[in-house]
Amino acid sequence: MRSKQGILWAYNLALVALTAALAWHAPPWLAAGWPGTDVVLGFALFQLLVWAFGYPVPSMGIISMERVPQIAALLLFPVEVAAVVNALPALAWPFLSHRYRQGSLAFGAIRAVHNACMIALMTAAAGLVWRALGGTVPLQTLGMGEALAILVAACVLQLVNMLMIGLFLRLDRRDVRRLLGPAYLVSDFLFVPIGVLAALVWTQADAVTGGLFVAFLLMTVVSAHEIVESRRQVQTRLVALDAASSARQAVSGSRRVEDIAERLMSQISALVQYRIAFVALHDAERGEFDVVLQIVDGERAPRFRRPLGQGAAGYVLRTATPLLVDDWASAPRELVEVAVLDPGERPGSVLIVPIRLRGEVLGLISVQHDRPHHYADADKHALIAIAEDIAPVIADARTFQELEDYRIRLETLVAERTAELERAGEERERLLAELRQQSELLQRQSREDALTTLSNRRHFDERIAEEIARARRYGHPLSLALIDIDHFKRLNDAGGHALGDEVLRRFGAMMRGHFRASDLVARIGGEEFAVLFPETAVDGALSSVEQLRTRVALDGPDELAAGHGITLSAGVAALRPDEDRDALMRRADALLYAAKAAGRNAVRAEPAPGDAAGPA
């Protein structure tokens, strides 16, 4: 931006004038004890080295061990010489570091002049305090007085440093309070003692000790850089891992991406001013921009999506290159045609940079201001540096989000499949229950008489064969009774088949309630029934059947068929040794017919010899 650069150059010229005025009154360099060229180059190279291995801070510069050579020069050389020795590397450094000059040679020149003057002035101020407090150069001994004087001089040096940096950032329209935090303000003090030690080694130690100390300093610089870089990488990963672990606390992947966007916007707000700013992620699967976070006039807008082809953001995505529009009024027509502007919106300057990782555009950072010429190349490269730093974090967060989405889809699918299996299991159990019921029904129907629910002829035939075999095996008695309702045909003719069926049902219920549970009661014909008495001699069977006959004769008309006389006839026989089923059935049937021939309503029995059912 021309106006901002103009202000910074005006500030630099004032610093140059002040520095020149102070140098005008300084004694000649050689007379002041100017060191050899090798010493100057050594200090300069060491200064450049600590900057190269420092910890970068966006828009600020770096945190490094620069106080080591600066304090050492202050305590070894006259103040005028120390100011020059410390300032010379600052002229070269912005042109050696692409990141420090934020990708802009013009901004690098501004920083080179500013930093050289700033370091010269703060060294001069600290040196004058050191001299005023009785400090001598070179430093020979370190007592309590010298230590206090060094502490005061270091505080003055740091104070001038912070004031001048703060003024520069203010003129560059940065958020000074957010950039100049306590950690940055006190970090340089940590290395003041090492600078004092370096001065003492310079004046007191021999060449070998001095060389070893320099080697130690170089190793310290490189090691500190590696430690800080490893810590930065670990912190970057921890941000993503912390976002991932928050899913255990019911925080969605989308929420994690929003958290990262908020941290990113916080960094952007400290670097550049804007009226509108947003962070958008590239959703290639849906062909959209996911505008995760947008700030308009200090207010946060709702998250929304936008097609990829719309707006300047789509232009940056297609070209994969940063876009800086110094003055929207003179923006290229192809850009104006695709721009998406609110009614009445008149942007002044626009800056958009892609968030790229290994050639893939993950998203965009966009800032916009109403005033033209508000952003410069230095701002563009500052945002590029931030985008480079945040890209791995966003990639990790998106990976975790995709994994979480996949996990959710998988859990949903598993839940659906589980529900289907449960439904299928329930249906299977229902069908099995129905099959069991049908099987039980069929089994019961295969053994029961449908009308009376007594055993049917098939079941009777199976049981009598089993009981005969058991009686023979164990020598137990077995008796059989055949029972017939007398004149049942007359009952049907008089009352119809409905009455006959009702009589049969009631008679079956009466028989079921009369005989023992161990006795088998079966309907083997129309009105003919059979009762099998396991382990029962003929007299016991005869007594039980006779009791049934008496009950039917006395209570039958009321209990079985009111208004109709109901009687029964029966024949009872016991199993004889070596007799089969047919023979037993014929004898019981013959006894039944004998009872009918005798006038019905009677029970006839033919006792087996010795009342024994099987062989002795």
Distance (Å, whole) CA 562 – CA 51: 123
C-alpha pair distances (Å), 65 with each of 92, 96, 162, 225, 244: 17, 18, 16, 10, 36
Q: Which residues pair with 294 in a beta bridge?
A: 278, 301
Helix (H, G, I), strand (E, B) or coil at 102: coil
Positions marked catalytic: 527
Burial class (CB in 10 A: 0-12, 13-18, 19+), 362: buried
Q: Report phi then psi at 322, rounded to 5.
A: -65, 155
Query: Order of strands, edge to edge, in the sheet holding 520-523?
Result: 520-523, 528-534, 478-485, 568-574, 603-606
Q: Residue 480 forms beta bridges with which residues? A: 532, 573
Rounded Cα distance, 77 and 33, in Å = 7
- For residue 578, the number of C-alpha atoms closer than 13 Å in the C-beta half-sphere is 1
The conformational region for residue 533 under phi > 0 = left, psi -120 to 50 = alpha, else beta, is beta
Residue with tokens 């931006």: 1
Cis bond before residue 577 (omega within 30° of 0): no
Q: How far apart are CA 459 and CA 479, in angstroms?
A: 17
Cross-strand partners of 365:
279, 353
Secondary structure class of 325 (helix, strand, coil): strand
Residue 500, Cβ neighbours under 10 Å: how many?
Answer: 21
For residues 161-179, one letter each, b for 16 or more C-beta atoms within 10 angstroms of the residue's C-beta and e for the rest, the string is bbebbeebbeebbbbbeeb
What distances in angstroms separate CA 158 from CA 44, 94, 153, 186, one per listed residue? 20, 21, 9, 9
Backbone angles phi, psi at 486, to 5 degrees: -75, 140
- Chain length of the chain: 616
Q: How far apart are CA 68 and CA 71, in angstroms?
A: 6
Q: In whole angstroms, what is the distance from residue 591 CA to residue 585 CA?
A: 10
Q: Which two tokens stand for residue 165?
A: 């940096």
The CA-atom distances, in angstroms, between 259 and each of 55, 154, 279 are: 25, 40, 12
Helix (H, G, I), strand (E, B) or coil at 135: coil
316's tokens: 């940056």
Q: Classify residue 187 by its DSSP letter.
A: H
Q: Tell me the DSSP string of 347-376.
A: -SEEEEEEEEETTEEEEEEEEEESSTT---
Of 567, 564, 569, 549, nearest to 493 by C-alpha is: 564
CB count within 10 Å of CB 31 equals 9
Closest C-alpha among 250, 268, 216, 209 to residue 68: 216
Q: Hunting for tokens 């079966």 — which residue is that?
A: 522
Q: What is the Cα Rg of the chain in Å?
A: 55
